Structure 1
């Protein structure tokens, strides 16, 4: 397929996934490492309630909240030197 044909399909909103070789795709900065963290029972209860409320797992809510906190710290440091 010519690049111009591929671009047109993409621009027209057509599904192009079948034209891609995803066998070696890597997501930068997404390598995972396992950690063990002990939380007090009350904190796990709160995490579970919030995770259930938004329909995600406990692990997901922890990762999202940590990512938000880290992003806020980076943003704050960039603004204030």
Structure 2
């Protein structure tokens, strides 16, 4: 493995070097840590009509029901946050 570079270089410069076909291995140590956000499971009750609606949305988007719920909830929370900031 090539020796790592001792001089810091920014990611854009490394990307440009890679685009030119240059060897960029020296800019990486090969050691990294995957940092995942803490996930906490929750149970949520939905009415049958709401579940049907979620399932139709999931099928139309070709994603899981859970992904639909998380995506829609994230969008709603973002809208709420933006609305509160604009007050």
Larger radius of gyration: 2
5+ long unaligned stretches in structure 1 = none
Tell me the number of residue pairs that the alignment of Structure 1 and Structure 2 aligns: 74
5+ long unaligned stretches in structure 2 = none
Q: Deviations over 1:26-66 (max 9, x none)?
A: 14xx2110000110111111101111111110000100100
The one of the two structures with greater contact order (alpha-carbon pairs below 8 A, sep at least 6) is: 2
Structure number having the greater helix percentage: 1
| Structure 1 outlier segments of 4+, above 2 Å | 6-14, 19-22
- Name the TM-score, length of structure 2 as normaliser: 0.69
- Give yes or no for the alignment of 1:79 onto 2:72: no
> What is the aligned-residue RMSD (CA, Å)?
2.4
